[in-house]
Structure 1
Amino acid sequence: MIYLQFILFAIVFSILYKRYFPVSGVQCIDIKNTQLEKRNVLLDLRDYDVSSKDPIPGAVNIPIAYLKRYSHTIPKKEVHVIAENPLEKNIGIRYLRKKGYKVLGYTLTECTCKKAGSAA
């Protein structure tokens, strides 16, 4: 019985970890920084209806729900993730890292970075 409880706890913890714990080593960067567009791939993980109302010039728009299917279309460069909320950010960055992409930073459209380069 104790083994079953431990296995159940481990499964629940891993699900919560992937979704809600912040990704380490990735900084919040203000999207208004023009240097990002030249050297990185801007990857917009927001839904199509949200990103069409507030488009980001030069960004590759692949909603988080389609990331697994269309990740092969992302150029093999350093990636800057644009997400609507921390859940999209965490899931997207972890998936991209698993596929071998180097994620340099992220921007959340719900809030702005307190300081450029601060971890959030």
Structure 2
Amino acid sequence: MIIAILIIFIGFIMYMLYTRFVPVIGIPCIDISSNQLETINVKLDIRDYNESFRQEVKGSILMPVAYLNRHYRDIPEKEIHLIASDSTERNLAVRILHNKGYRVTGYSLMDCGCKGK
């Protein structure tokens, strides 16, 4: 009985680590300072309010990752470009949006850019 509970607990921990730290393959990184962002229709800023207030991205929809499950219906189109502060935030948002039927076409990281991505 204890072994079964331990296996379930380890499986749960591994699932949580997977969803947070293993990136979704096939989503390109676009540098935030490039001109490519101007042509993108829906830019979804998933950073916290206090971070996005300091570095605002013109034309983006502000919806922190904690609010995605409740307010995903407010996103106007199914193809989205994410703006995140770090890779953990990006991974969670991509998985949530894929489960809700959205297609993430690219992402930008504000803090570290696209070096080596």
TM-score (norm 2): 0.89
Paired residue for 2:21?
20
Offset at residue 58 of structure 1 (A): 0.6
Aligned mates of 1:77, 1:101 — CA distance in 2: 5
Q: Does 1:42 align with 2:67?
A: no
Aligned mates of 1:112, 1:45 — CA distance in 2: 15
1:12-91, aligned counterparts within 5 Å? Answer: 12-91=13-92
For the 8 Å contact 1:23–1:90, the answer to whether it is kept is: yes
Q: Between Structure 1 and Structure 2, how many residues are aligned?
A: 116
Q: CA RMSD in A?
A: 1.6
Offset at residue 85 of structure 1 (A): 1.1
Offset at residue 28 of structure 1 (A): 1.3
Percent identical: 43
Aligned mates of 2:41, 2:104 — CA distance in 1: 9
1:108-119, aligned counterparts within 5 Å? Answer: 108-114=109-115
Offset at residue 54 of structure 1 (A): 0.8
Offset at residue 4 of structure 1 (A): 2.0
Aligned mates of 2:47, 2:26 — CA distance in 1: 22
Offset at residue 35 of structure 1 (A): 3.4
Q: Does 1:105 align with 2:103?
A: no
For the 8 Å contact 1:40–1:77, the answer to whether it is kept is: no
TM-score (norm 1): 0.87
Q: Which runs of 5+ in 2 are unaligned?
A: none
Offset at residue 63 of structure 1 (A): 1.0
Q: Which runs of 5+ in 1 are unaligned?
A: none
For the 8 Å contact 1:39–1:78, the answer to whether it is kept is: no
Q: Which aligned segments of 4 or more residues in structure 1 are displaced greater than 6 angstroms? A: none
Matched position secondary structure for 1:28? coil
